[in-house]
Amino acid sequence: QVQLVESGGGSVQAGGSLRLSCVAYGNTYSSVCMGWFRQAPGKEREAVAATNRDTGNIRYGDSVEGRFTISQDNAKNTLYLQMNSLKPEDTAVYYCAARPCGLNSVFMFPNDYDTWGQGTQVTVSS
């Protein structure tokens, strides 16, 4: 059983930066894909960024590409999301997700994932 714990959320002004962390505990998958998603009030959960931990393949959502960076420290079982040039529309609860995966796979849809963290709130004020 894998458990994901996010941290690093908070409140910042537009143009600021935050770094989110997601630590995976328990029996992690031997081959794992992970992703960051977000959900704003009244909106569907959307992909922010996703990665294949073994191959390093990465994909970003259109609205964050060039501003956000996903990275990982496999030795610490930790996934990061560096968020720069934050905008008010980035305000949402951010979730970390994980699933087993094959070569070159990177998953960008919430239904693709079977393990989720509890979420961390990010609020960006104008």
* 21 contacts: CB under 8 Å, gap ≥ 6: 6, 7, 8, 78, 79, 80
> pLDDT tens track of the chain, all 126 residues?
789 999 999 999 999 999 999 999 987 667 789 999 999 999 999 999 999 988 889 999 999 999 999 999 988 999 999 999 999 999 999 999 999 987 778 999 999 999 999 999 999 999
Is the distance from CB of 7 to CB of 119 less than 8 angstroms? no
Yes or no: say if 3 and 98 are a contact pair by the CB < 8 Å rule.
Answer: no
The amino acid present at 79, given as its one-letter code, is: L
- How high is the pLDDT of residue 2? 87
Q: At 117, list the tokens.
A: 């963290």
The two tokens of residue 38 are 């977000």
pLDDT in tens, 54-86: 888 999 999 999 999 999 998 899 999 999 999
Decide: 100 and 106 in contact? Cβ < 8 Å.
no
Please give the span between the terminal C-alpha atoms of the chain, in angstroms, as a whole number.
40
